[in-house]
Amino acid sequence: MRHTMPHNWTWHDLKGDCDSKQLRELTANNEGCSKWAEHAASQKTNYLQIDQDSSGNYILRGSLIYTQNPEDQDEYKVVHFYVTEKLLITVNLDLNSFVRTTKEQLACLMEQVETAPEGFFVLLGEVLNHFLDGVDELETKLKELQSDVQKNNHTNLLNQIYDRRIELINWSDLAIAVEDTRLAAKEAFLEKVTETDAYKRTHTRIDRTLTLVRNYRMDIDTLLNLEEVLSSHRGNEIMKTLTVFTVIFTPMMGFGAIWGMNFENMPELKWKLGYLYAMLLIGGSTIGVYVWLRMKGWTGDLLQGKKRRKHFD
């Protein structure tokens, strides 16, 4: 679809085959762009190229992943673009992905700008709005995860933390690709685009997105370190508990083993209170070992009751 803007520049929003006749005609004044069209037909990753047409005017062309499912990163959408001072071509851009702005509002924004590069930055700004919405959803998940770490400390938390980290990496990669595109546009069009409001807004949104990503990365690293400390502490507590349990009951097991051998010359078998004496000996030795461990301070707080559950309980 062709959109002719009031300030004498044109936006061609194409769908379908990147190697179409219409696209070849639009980029006929530059040999490199025919290669771009062929390349874009199979391009599934981010790609950028700065070139010049036959008149010496700079061209920004490439491909950009503008939406991706964090839970299934094979599910994504790529827009291919071609930008000169008076011409903007986008291929396979799904405007329905921009949930904050309707098509009518977007058309109004595009009509207000004076050049095609500025219009391109209007589109990038909407892409970044989509990223910011995704980062906001990630923030909600992180808050829930922080609460879960504080209250539950169950073993599934580590999986959840890593899921959030993968999701954050996804948004970070998408935002960095847009930042790279911004820098390439700055290189190609210089102050013609850098002094425009659309560029400045997009630059600010990129900074916002990357700042949030950095902060949430630190939050996730903190949660991960905390979970590792908790897991290590729980492992140490388990080993300490097993050690104390084994030491305390060693006398009981030892006497029980000897008692179960049933030697003929076992004096307690003929004593009237021999069974009681044997039980008292076993119990007394067990208590003696426990007292010895407590005096050494080796039981710590394992055998103390917990009034209120804490992180390291």
pLDDT, tens digit, for every residue of 242-288?
A: 777 777 777 777 777 766 666 566 666 666 676 777 778 777 887 88
Q: How far, rounded to the nearest angstrom, does the alpha carbon of residue 75 sit from its chain's CA centroid?
A: 16
Q: What is the mean pLDDT of residues 123-150?
A: 88
Is pLDDT at 101 greater than 80 in this prediction? yes
Q: Give the pLDDT score at 64.
A: 92
Q: For the chain, how many structural domains are there in total?
A: 2
Judge whether 312 lies within some domain: no
- Residue 86 in 3-state DSSP? coil
- From 206, 229, 252, the end of a domain falls on 229
pLDDT cut 90: percent of the chain above it: 23
Q: Are residues 270 and 149 in the same domain?
A: no
- From 201, 229, 257, the end of a domain falls on 229
Work out the burial of residue 159: count CB atoms within 10 Å of its CB; fewer than 13 is exposed, 13-18 middle, 19 or more buried: exposed
Q: Are residues 67 and 134 in the same domain?
A: yes
Strand order across the 47-52 sheet: 2-4, 10-14, 87-91, 72-83, 58-69, 47-52
Residue 88, beta-bridge partner list: 11, 83
Q: How far is CA 76 from CA 36, 64, 70, 128, 175, in A?
A: 21, 10, 9, 15, 14
Q: Torsion over CA of 18, 24, 29 and 35, rounded to 10 degrees?
A: 50
Q: Give the pLDDT score at 27.
A: 66
Assign residue 81 a region (left: φ > 0; alpha: ψ between -120 and 50; beta: otherwise).
Answer: beta
Q: Are residues 54 and 172 in the same domain?
A: yes
**Global pTM value:** 0.70
- Domain around 212: 2-229
Q: Give the pLDDT score at 53.
A: 75
Mean residue pLDDT of the chain comes to 80
Q: Give the pLDDT score at 57.
A: 83
Rounded Cα distance, 285 and 283, in Å: 6
Going by pLDDT thresholds of 50, 70 and 90, the confidence category of residue 311 is very low
Q: Are residues 244 and 225 in the same domain?
A: no
Q: Are residues 44 and 165 in the same domain?
A: yes
Q: Are residues 191 and 93 in the same domain?
A: yes
> How many C-beta neighbours within 10 Å does residue 158 have?
15
